[in-house]
Structure 1
């Protein structure tokens, strides 16, 4: 059973990628229940192992007392759970789940945008300040002024270009608020006034250089690129971003971005060699390999909210207000569940 569980955890992960399919959705909770029962049995056996150690009875086997608790008459709970795991694994295998390529379905993971879903961000003042500092955003935003072609040519000649874009990574586990933080960064007045272009791309687990290049061009021109030749696309993109100070946000990057020994990532970055100094790439990821593979500076780690902040967030979600006067007993139950 101990040998079986790691494979079952992997199978659960694969099933969750396809949980929108009816057959998989029906089997997934059954598999989770069987895994929970297996974990409980192993925990119980571990308890008997500790009991024998504490009592110092070397001649006594922990199996003896343990099996008295799990075998009732002809019913053997251990064999029953193991049989269920084997049966469910076989059924999911017949659905093609064991060989599934783990790719997000848009129904499971919707595309993100630079516009925040929430108007207020909780407990991220420190991280927001850290990101703004690493982006090199001035403390006092300057008002942008309309420039003539003469002004533009003067600015081009006086401001230096950079040969490669610095990359800042926002890292943390799934659901901790990396995307929300990046959205609030993009919409911060100081950021909007500092960069000529702010481009948001939802990468997810499909790091297709051609697709991403097309999306960047569309963000620059507001027109969909018709050309399907990567060379032409990259030259067009290079022209669009030439001498501009830009911020490119690549949201939710996965290990797929490092394929071909990192050549895919380098290929994507190639058109940004003549951007203006001060330009940046901001990446959000839950993958440590991505963090270490693409960052060029100190990364920002987003961790869970502190209890008090999380409680205010929970009240806003549940009751629509942080100052809601709730039933004391319900509040006690909620705090016990969420904060302990």
Structure 2
């Protein structure tokens, strides 16, 4: 036993030594691993820092390219404006071919700039939030790599520069420096000659105009074309003795001249009515002098003054000095009572705020009391400028007279032997023409050569904009109103053509839709909404939109059917309306704005075809079946990621798909007829969203994620504007 104790002790000591060495070893390993982990962590942080710095430099480099792209595009709206005029007025085939390519590339550039700004801004926010959203960070990185590796910006820049240089070369060959007077080049100057055989006198309208002009015939007096050698005092004395002075319009006696405008869309019969007034026997007897001047888009005070003198006074003026011309006119016109018709006055009468109208009118105020000026114009603003209290709005010929005129245009003067089956077809066509005589002449020209039922049915079943038209037919004439628009109004006007005919526009909704689609340009730091409302008023004043007469509050507006046809013709590559299954195969490849109207031929399967039109910015559905819309929406949201404006009118979804979060650029969402009770989580990550109309939705809980919608301006829910998270009871 005694001998075993030392052995056991040695074994114990050996074991203790081993354990001690093992502890030291484990301690060493722990220290080593800790040091390695620290080094690895530092290396990772350095690498992440290097990666972040590299990514930041890459964003900075692409940002410089985007600025270059932005600067390249600044002059393109004016080039497009001029090219549109040239392709239409001069019928230049080369420009007509290049113009759609330029527009498409400009749209591509805008899309790229907007998508870049979205991701770049989001990446900057992630840096401040220390990268909390990994999915968003990855999406930004993927986008950055796609444009960097694919050289997308350089390709668009090269295409834009090539197209711009080519178009500018063509335009220079057409003497770009010459002033182009759009109206005069397309619309021939109209004279005062009136062909009484075309249609019956507009007796009621003529009488109303004469009354507004203050023409009240109290006693007959001989018509005096020109008075020579009679002093002003003698002239006035003779008129007082004849009793004519008592018929003057006392309301405007201070200026002696009554001014009145006939306003309405192109081709509606304004010039025809003015001719009937001008050639009325009562007018010939009442005025000493009648003058007719075709103005068009050249309201040049010097030219008009000179024409007045030459026409009325048979005095050929050698001087081109406006002061001398006006002095001569003032001295001469004091002897006469005149009627001046200014036909086809455009908006340049008030352009540049240079008081052209007042400068022209001033010397005429010295004329005899009872003198009058009658204008015809498409512009409501011109009508208000010359007389804000009174003007005459012409909506078309009286129904009976129009029907007679249409029959004469379609059948000719001899109706014997005409197939009676054509009468009901003609009655189907007439309402579409909105009592517009030029539209009747256009359709009459197309119908008259073939008086058979098949041909007439084909015309009746076609949209007016689909029919071939001559230079002076209704749509080319109406297109003048489009060509005369400034570039910032053109796209807003054409956007309206994506809605069906007779659609009632709400002013606020339309303006917000324009903003969402990227069509409103902020002017000198102003708010987009204010600029949008100004655009709306401009289109209203130009008769391209008009108040809906049946609206009790005047809050609804419509587009005249013929104006809508013209807009569809101009925008056929960018705006499209789907009315049935066959239309889905006709959608233009580069379409930007699409309306879908409910039809029995539409289904989830065929509506999936819309997914291939990746350039779409706007989709508006009207009355599409709920089960179809709910099923197809998830496919749209997966593929059409450039959508800015989405509207479901008179239709609803059962629910909003979760993948609506893919629509990163969505700004405007109208789900006002939907009644679902919750919104998907991804909805609250749509950071570009500005306007949401969820009027009938039964959503009660607005989550804290509401605060992430940093650009949200208005969220309408059951009559309440939502401004913060919380519970909103039904």
Alignment of 1:37-76 (within 5 A): none
Residues 222-256 of structure 1: per-residue CA shift (max 9 Å, x gap): 24321111111111111221131111111111110
* The 10-residue stretch of structure 1 (193-202 or 323-332) with the greater mean CA deviation from structure 2: 323-332
Which of 186, 190, 193 lines up with 1:115 in the alignment?
Answer: 193
Task: Find the counterpart in structure 1 of residue 490 from structure 2.
Answer: none
Between the aligned partners of 1:139 and 1:224, the Cα distance in structure 2 is 33
The answer on whether the counterparts of 1:144 and 1:193 sit within 8 Å (CA) in structure 2 is: yes
Task: Find the counterpart in structure 1 of residue 340 from structure 2.
Answer: 248
Q: CA RMSD in A?
A: 3.9
Task: Find the counterpart in structure 2 of residue 154 from structure 1.
Answer: 234
Which of 210, 223, 227 lines up with 1:132 in the alignment?
Answer: 210
Between the aligned partners of 1:176 and 1:29, the Cα distance in structure 2 is 32
Between the aligned partners of 2:392 and 2:86, the Cα distance in structure 1 is 28
Between the aligned partners of 1:227 and 1:152, the Cα distance in structure 2 is 25
Task: Find the counterpart in structure 1 of residue 90 from structure 2.
Answer: 21
Change (3 A) 1:148 1:257: closer
Between the aligned partners of 1:102 and 1:122, the Cα distance in structure 2 is 37
Between the aligned partners of 1:140 and 1:13, the Cα distance in structure 2 is 54
Aligned-pair CA distance for 1:210: 0.6
Change (3 A) 1:119 1:227: farther
Aligned partner of residue 328 in structure 1, secondary structure = coil
Between the aligned partners of 1:105 and 1:306, the Cα distance in structure 2 is 27
Change (3 A) 1:306 1:269: closer
Change (3 A) 1:220 1:99: closer
Task: Find the counterpart in structure 2 of residue 266 from structure 1.
Answer: 358
The answer on whether the counterparts of 2:213 and 2:258 sit within 8 Å (CA) in structure 1 is: no
Task: Find the counterpart in structure 2 of residue 214 from structure 1.
Answer: 306
Aligned-pair CA distance for 1:128: 1.3
Change (3 A) 1:308 1:299: same
Which of 272, 279, 296 lines up with 1:204 in the alignment?
Answer: 296
Task: Find the counterpart in structure 2 of residue 226 from structure 1.
Answer: 318
Size of the aligned set, in residue pairs, is 281
Change (3 A) 1:145 1:196: closer
Residues 191-246 of structure 1: per-residue CA shift (max 9 Å, x gap): 11001111111111111111111100111222432111111111111122113111
Aligned partner of residue 168 in structure 1, secondary structure = strand
- Higher relative contact order, structure no. (Cα contacts within 8 Å, ≥ 6 residues apart): 1
Task: Find the counterpart in structure 1 of residue 220 from structure 2.
Answer: 142
Asked if 1:299 is matched to 2:391, the reply is yes
The answer on whether the counterparts of 2:336 and 2:367 sit within 8 Å (CA) in structure 1 is: yes
* The 10-residue stretch of structure 1 (246-255 or 113-122) with the greater mean CA deviation from structure 2: 113-122
Task: Find the counterpart in structure 2 of residue 182 from structure 1.
Answer: 274
The answer on whether the counterparts of 1:213 and 1:268 sit within 8 Å (CA) in structure 2 is: yes
Aligned-pair CA distance for 1:152: 6.7
Change (3 A) 1:244 1:297: farther
The answer on whether the counterparts of 2:263 and 2:392 sit within 8 Å (CA) in structure 1 is: yes
Aligned partner of residue 166 in structure 1, secondary structure = strand
Between the aligned partners of 1:333 and 1:29, the Cα distance in structure 2 is 37
Between the aligned partners of 2:83 and 2:204, the Cα distance in structure 1 is 36
The answer on whether the counterparts of 1:167 and 1:296 sit within 8 Å (CA) in structure 2 is: no
Aligned-pair CA distance for 1:115: 1.4
Between the aligned partners of 2:425 and 2:94, the Cα distance in structure 1 is 31
* The 10-residue stretch of structure 1 (252-261 or 103-112) with the greater mean CA deviation from structure 2: 103-112
The answer on whether the counterparts of 1:17 and 1:103 sit within 8 Å (CA) in structure 2 is: no
The answer on whether the counterparts of 1:141 and 1:194 sit within 8 Å (CA) in structure 2 is: no
Between the aligned partners of 2:93 and 2:201, the Cα distance in structure 1 is 35
Task: Find the counterpart in structure 1 of residue 401 from structure 2.
Answer: 309
Aligned partner of residue 176 in structure 1, secondary structure = coil
The answer on whether the counterparts of 1:172 and 1:285 sit within 8 Å (CA) in structure 2 is: yes
* The 10-residue stretch of structure 1 (231-240 or 299-308) with the greater mean CA deviation from structure 2: 299-308
Aligned-pair CA distance for 1:30: 10
Between the aligned partners of 2:199 and 2:392, the Cα distance in structure 1 is 16
TM-score when scaled to structure 1?
Answer: 0.68
- Unpaired segments of 5 or more residues in structure 2? 1-75, 104-159, 433-730
TM-score when scaled to structure 2?
Answer: 0.34
Aligned-pair CA distance for 1:28: 4.8
- Unpaired segments of 5 or more residues in structure 1? 1-6, 36-85
Aligned partner of residue 376 in structure 2, secondary structure = strand
Aligned partner of residue 129 in structure 1, secondary structure = helix
The answer on whether the counterparts of 1:166 and 1:297 sit within 8 Å (CA) in structure 2 is: no
Aligned-pair CA distance for 1:316: 1.5
